[in-house]
Structure 1
């Protein structure tokens, strides 16, 4: 019997400790906690600190129903990223991912402690942390749901040959057949890691996606048909990221740091006049490629904000970070044209700013869903993992972006003229304007989906009703 002061349902959130995964599940925690459901966010000490420090749009310290658990993992190798690797997959982060699987024992202890305090304990875990939660089956009132940190489009292609074939038929008119590939997207070691984790994911009751029906409805319908055949549920509950940033951003501006510096600079620019250039937290570029980007941006004569930083290490607080080198005198030379950001950049705030009219991106799913929700078109430059297929979704199906670099040419350096051409096409041509109109229209539909009566709001209500049933 559950005491009156106990909650009907408690949620435990288990992210993979990489920024793009951490960020999505912390945003999701806020949305669940808004329904007066306690959420326990479980990670390592380093990565709990990291995700809170980098959060945008809200302050986790103001939400009393989110509880952070800093759990220990064994020491792990923390090598620097290799910018000269032919495969851009961040294999330097594999030791961290392997070490994170040792959270199994402390997570099981936490579940056993929480289980008697609630009628139902709901575990939501990253698909790549499935082995960590496997012991939930030994507890009578615990159920688990697998969260996929990538697009439904990408996961369908990766996990189901049958659905993948249906998708190819669905999008054949868009001439994408040759573009849909996972070749060169992962290392063989990481493929093995994925396979092990996906095997344990079969224990869960369903899948959750940070996507929206207005973005991926046909794909979600195909996945739902497959899910029903195995008695699994499927939920599309995104976008998780905040959509109204003004009041929070104003408060953050007073920090004298990157948020204030970026937004103050953007305030001085004309509407839709700036391209934001950022390749995420797991991309390392060679010195040769950095120089080509620098030259291409300068020659484009286009206003830009460029995030110049190396990929995250397993421990982002370690001291031996080597700054990326730009051509001598570059930042001074372009100071009226562009802003170079070497710190952590406030990406959500930048994408939401009215002066930003384009985003040169690696097409990680965080960046895709954030740019969609803010109505910003993408110059797609995929690097690894799900990114090449996300680029197909953006450029060929949704038509809210254009391609900087074909995936089949991934081993080649993109020269400055190609960078310049992509920027000019997106920011200064009729083609770019049409793409921008499509992105703005999609952004409006996505934002409407989270309002009362909207498809995401309705589905979220259905999800909450299900876990509190």
Structure 2
């Protein structure tokens, strides 16, 4: 058969929102280059999830990415348990393990595409190495490992797991949180099961920029961690201007109601609160946040939702109760808005009225906030988040940690007075510490935006990756 395409790129994300979203943005970046066909592969429900939560991303050109929605056997999809002793979303484990069933369909797709392209390039989430392993049987296929976490976090994970193969500055280890309580043993086993399949990858891709993590990208490029593989820091994958800029007038008129509310607020006057798609807060903690927000006097948008279920389209979700009269009171006083449906996070963070982001420090949220120049109140919950929070607050100095001790943050209810104090510190214009954090966040945001422009360091790195796979 005659070759139709020079290069076909197959994107294989891990079935969790922060992973689906990052690689959907990456798919859009790759598809902007000529003569590269992009295929995005997941289960039927997770592909649907990625698309409906993409907001304006796919509306500009909905046919530029080829979506594959593979059917797999049904799996348990229990609700999250907000009262669990460990905050990691263990209820998602059946969904994670269901991804194993994608191996056969993905292998068939790769073989089919190999006959119509000179080269098939697989970009897989690091947690999907098992699924794509059959690329090694296809002569014109090659694979690249995508890390969904920060270079900071992945460096320390690899450095520690390899027995600390070379010395590093002592300062880097000060206050570094342990991984205790960050994952379940089942998920640790799942991660370990993927690693042996990554040895045939040709390189590693990171959703970060060298203007954010140049120091830690340099550490990742030292042997034996590098393992003689090329590293590309191509982030941020997300658009670095608000999505409103490329929506049509009609689409802008259908914007989420919280954006219309933001339009009426003063610049940098509103704090956005969201703890991502894998965290469920206890009722006691929600009450303390309510009190702290109200006492701070700061206007806010709060995306108040439970963690996703493995199948977000299955069954009911918990209706989170707020203190009696709270929601009515803040609405009446024009103090805030509670978003219980899916919040357009990137559009919110890109709005001029947003002054800070109270975040769990999932890497996707960190990158979106940093690229918009928005400082972060770091409140980690599990996984890579505790270490990301140290990167944000200690090394980049573009945020304030909610509680200095990870053990306290993990095991105790954070009280309203602490929440109030941190908000006031970051949002009040006459606070010296807050002013410095906001200034550095704005400067880093500007540097990130320059890095992705023509001639910028990130754009050059993306061009380098494209040149490599089209060589």
CA distance in structure 1 between the partners assigned to 2:258 and 2:72 by the alignment: 36
CA contact (8 A) 1:52 1:60 kept: no
Could you say which residue in structure 2 is the equivalent of 1:354?
Answer: 352
CA contact (8 A) 1:380 1:402 kept: yes
| TM-score (norm. length: structure 2) | 0.95
CA distance in structure 2 between the partners assigned to 1:227 and 1:65 by the alignment: 39
CA distance in structure 2 between the partners assigned to 1:77 and 1:450 by the alignment: 41
The correspondence of residues 72-91 of structure 1 with structure 2, limited to 5 A, is 72-91=71-90
CA contact (8 A) 2:210 2:233 kept: yes
CA distance in structure 2 between the partners assigned to 1:432 and 1:240 by the alignment: 28
Change (3 A) 1:342 1:140: same
- Residues 1:327 and 2:323 are matched in the alignment: yes
The match for 2:295 among 277, 299, 313 is 299
CA contact (8 A) 1:88 1:384 kept: yes
Change (3 A) 1:376 1:165: farther
Query: RMSD between aligned alpha carbons?
Result: 1.8
- Residues 1:94 and 2:89 are matched in the alignment: no
Question: Number of paired residues?
Answer: 462
The match for 1:208 among 205, 208, 221 is 205
Could you say which residue in structure 1 is the equivalent of 2:67?
Answer: 68
- More helix by percentage: 1
Could you say which residue in structure 2 is the equivalent of 1:116?
Answer: 115
CA distance in structure 2 between the partners assigned to 1:55 and 1:137 by the alignment: 32
Instruction: Report how far residue 267 of structure 1 moved.
Output: 1.0
8-17 vs 178-187, which moves further: 178-187
Q: Displaced runs of 4+ in structure 1, greater than 4 A?
A: 162-168
Could you say which residue in structure 2 is the equivalent of 1:417?
Answer: 417
Could you say which residue in structure 2 is the equivalent of 1:439?
Answer: 441
Change (3 A) 1:353 1:166: farther
CA distance in structure 2 between the partners assigned to 1:434 and 1:392 by the alignment: 17
Where structure 1 has 5 or more consecutive residues not aligned to the other structure, the ranges are none
Instruction: Report how far residue 137 of structure 1 moved.
Output: 0.6
190-199 vs 154-163, which moves further: 154-163
The match for 1:194 among 191, 194, 197 is 191
CA contact (8 A) 2:355 2:375 kept: yes
Change (3 A) 1:166 1:271: farther
CA contact (8 A) 2:165 2:224 kept: no
CA contact (8 A) 2:236 2:367 kept: yes
Instruction: Report how far residue 169 of structure 1 moved.
Output: 3.5
The match for 1:260 among 256, 263, 267 is 256
The correspondence of residues 368-383 of structure 1 with structure 2, limited to 5 A, is 368-383=366-381
- Residues 1:243 and 2:240 are matched in the alignment: yes
CA contact (8 A) 2:42 2:68 kept: yes
SS at match of 1:306: strand
Where structure 2 has 5 or more consecutive residues not aligned to the other structure, the ranges are none
Instruction: Report how far residue 2 of structure 1 moved.
Output: 4.2
CA distance in structure 2 between the partners assigned to 1:100 and 1:260 by the alignment: 32
Change (3 A) 1:234 1:462: same
Instruction: Report how far residue 165 of structure 1 moved.
Output: 5.1
CA contact (8 A) 1:157 1:163 kept: no
CA contact (8 A) 2:60 2:246 kept: no
Instruction: Report how far residue 253 of structure 1 moved.
Output: 3.6
| TM-score (norm. length: structure 1) | 0.95
CA distance in structure 2 between the partners assigned to 1:185 and 1:2 by the alignment: 50
Instruction: Report how far residue 57 of structure 1 moved.
Output: 4.3
CA contact (8 A) 2:177 2:406 kept: no
CA contact (8 A) 1:168 1:177 kept: no
SS at match of 1:160: helix
